[in-house]
Structure 1
Amino acid sequence: MKSLLETDGYEDIRSRLKKLQPEMKPLWGRMDAAQMVWHCQIPLEVGIKNKLPKKKGNLLIRLFFKKSLYNDKPWKKNLPTIPRARATESKDFNQEYERLLELVDTFHHLKSRESWNPHPMFGSLTAEQWGKLEYKHLDHHLRQFDL
């Protein structure tokens, strides 16, 4: 499994993002390209901000879904997302795309961060798990747009 904290995973995501165009249609789901790049910013911001969660995530989610966050098996299509990350309004592709690239760069440059706070939903993750989680989320949505 690639990681956004490692050079090969970072370069893979960056090169695939460069191929994304605003008029591209998804293979599944409801989000258009602009909404997808906005949506992909949310988990990156969580990792970058490194805040302690206000409450622990659901124990069942942590037990049953956590391992799928950073293994090699692709995620299923149309997985549910948290309400905050649901793209229900139109987004400006160029603005959101530039912001996503900034966040991908910022997250990658955290590869030497020594301390990672727990994920608000999935609990304690190592740096390796954080990197794989972020890569896998971006990979999932780039596959959604056949990239």
Structure 2
Amino acid sequence: MKSIFDEKTYQEVLKRLERLTPDSERQWGKMSVAQMLWHCQMPIRLAIKNKKSNKKSNPLIRLLFKKSLYSDKPWRKNLPTIPVAKAREEKDFKQEMNTLREMVEELHRLKERTNWNPHPIFGEFTPEQWGKLEYKHLDHHLRQFGV
């Protein structure tokens, strides 16, 4: 299972990001490419920033979701998005690309960190689980835009 903390996987993600353009067309879903770039920042921000959530995780959802982290099978298309991670208005492609790239780079630099924030829906994650989650989320949306 790939992790954003693995150097080869990290470089692959950066190269895939570089292949996106403002005109990249989605293969499914409703987001524009710029909205997707903004959306992909949300779980990284949860992991690396000191942003706490008051939400309690659901044990059943947590169990089912965490199992998907250890599967090489990609997430299915058109999964629901939590409201806070939905882009309500159009975003600037260049700005969102730069921000996401910086956040992915920061996340990768922090790979040795041990004190990660809990996920607001899925609860406590190990560094290994955060690395896999971040990769799977980015991969899902990069595939959404054909890269």
Please tell me whether the aligned partners of residues 4 and 108 of structure 1 are also in contact (alpha carbons under 8 angstroms).
yes
Query: Paired residue for 2:71?
Result: 71
Q: Mean alpha-carbon deviation: is it higher for 37-46 or for 66-75?
A: 66-75
Q: CA deviation at 1:66?
A: 2.3
Q: Structure 1 stretch 86-95 or stretch 66-75: which is displaced more?
A: 66-75
In the TM superposition, residue 64 of structure 1 has moved relative to its aligned partner by 2.0
Deviation larger for 93-102 or 110-119 = 110-119
Query: Partners in 2 of 1:86 and 1:110 — Cα distance?
Result: 26
Which residue is 1:120 aligned to?
Answer: 120
> Does structure 2 conserve the Cα–Cα contact (< 8 Å) formed by 1:26 and 1:146?
yes
Q: Match for residue 26 of structure 1?
A: 26
CA distance in 1, matches of 2:71, 2:39: 22
Is 1:116–1:125's contact at 8 Å kept on the other side of the alignment?
yes
The 5-angstrom pairing of residues 42-61 of structure 1 reads: 42-61=42-61
Structure 2 CA distance for partners of 1:90 and 1:102, relative to 1, 3 Å: same
Unmatched segments (≥5 aa) in structure 2: none
Alignment size in residue pairs: 147
Sort the Cα spacing of 1:40 and 1:66 in 2 relative to 1 into closer, same or farther, 3 A.
Answer: same
Q: Which amino acid aligns with 1:65?
A: F
Q: Which amino acid in structure 1 is aligned with residue 101 of structure 2?
A: L
Counterpart of 1:84?
84
2:38 touches 2:100 (CA, 8 Å); kept in 1? yes
Aligned partner of residue 40 in structure 1, secondary structure: helix
- CA RMSD across the alignment: 1.3
Provide the C-alpha distance between the structure 1 equivalents of 2:87 and 2:69, rounded to a whole number of angstroms.
21
Structure 1 length as normaliser, TM-score? 0.94
Structure 1 stretches of 4+ moved >3 Å: 50-53
| CA-to-aligned-CA distance 1:41-89 (integer Å, 9 cap, x gap) | 0011001115454232222311222211342110000000110111221
**Distance in 1 (alpha carbons) for counterparts of 2:44 and 2:122:** 14
Please give the TM-score of this superposition, normalised by the length of structure 2.
0.94
